[in-house]
Amino acid sequence: MKIHELRQLSDVEIRTHIADEQNNLLDLRFQHSLKQLTNTAKIRQTKQTIARLYAVLTERENTKQSAQ
């Protein structure tokens, strides 16, 4: 997902996406260790998606704190 798409989601939706992506990353790591993963770039992409999700959450928390 692109960052502008993630910014349109609510906090609850972002947290559910984080949980889903972390489970997906765990599955990818298992597949990689069992030599079943053909496209190893998916691991990197999943990590980047998780980082983007956390970045959006942090961004929102910082704007809430600066507004107070």
CB atoms within 10 A of CB 65: 8
**3-class DSSP assignment, residue 57:** helix
- The reply to whether 12 falls in a domain is no
Please check whether residue 52 lies inside any domain of the structure.
yes
Total length of the chain: 68
HSE at residue 39, side-chain half, CA atoms within 13 A, is: 6
Residue 1, pLDDT above cutoff 90: no
Neighbours of 29 (CB within 10 A): 13
Number of domains in the chain: 1
CA angle 58/18/26 to nearest 5° reads 130
Residue 5 lies in a domain: no
* Structural domain that includes position 43: 20-67
Say what the pTM is: 0.90
Q: Among residues of the chain, what percentage have pLDDT more than 70?
A: 100
The pLDDT tens digits of the residues spanning 35-59 come to: 999 999 999 999 999 999 999 999 9
Is 53 a member of any domain?
A: yes
SS3 call for 62: helix
